[in-house]
Amino acid sequence: MFGKRFVVSGVIAILIGTLGACSGGGEGGDDDGIAWEQSDTTSGGDGSGSGSASGQDSAPTAQDSTVHGLKDTVRHVTVKTARATRPRRISKCSTATRRVRHTSGTGTGSRRTTRTWYTSERYRSCTEVRSGTETYRRTVRTEKWCVGLDDVNGDRARDDVWFQVGTTDYGAARTADEHARLEFTPTAEGC
């Protein structure tokens, strides 16, 4: 009984030491400022914040792996559209007739006779034709939610790395303290 408690205590001590080493501080860098939104959080100097993102609506990357690091900043890239024109297509229909063959048989064996006759049926024939042009809104830039991390996956040389995330992860990162340790599954790298 004493031996089991000793082993459990040792494992807990190793886990605490490992987690303490992963939550070291780091200074955040500035980003390029193109269509971005800085989170309105207060500065925390030691990197010990809360705010782990959950990743409930994030799609997995090709590696199907999560990333972790210290929060640098967040960015919401809004959708951008432009007015454009395209050919307008309409349906043009006309009524036409076609000949339909009918048969019926009476009797059996050598006394069987077959009667054949034809009727004309009307039907509607439609085709798509071009008729001028129409205007529409073309998407130039899609909407993205991004989180910038420092010390990505514990590598202190990997700072200012952007990841695209889902709206749930973005909301959690936005409300987290500055330099808080975040972990999420990104939808793509870059922003």
What pLDDT, in 10s, does the model give residues 62-102? 445 889 999 989 999 999 999 999 999 999 999 989 999 99
Q: What are the extents of the domains in the chain?
A: 24-78+143-189, 83-137
| pTM over cut 0.85 | no
Give residues with Cβ within 8 angstroms of 133, minimum separation 6.
85, 86, 87, 88
- Mean residue pLDDT of the chain comes to 75
Whole-number pLDDT of residue 56:
42
Asked if pLDDT for residue 46 goes beyond 60, the answer is no
Cα atoms in the 13 Å half-sphere on the side-chain side of 67:
27
| Number of residues assigned to the chain | 191
Handedness of CA 62, 67, 73, 74 (dihedral sign): positive
Between 152 and 14, name the one with better pLDDT.
152
Q: What is residue 82's predicted lDDT score, i.e. its pLDDT? A: 95
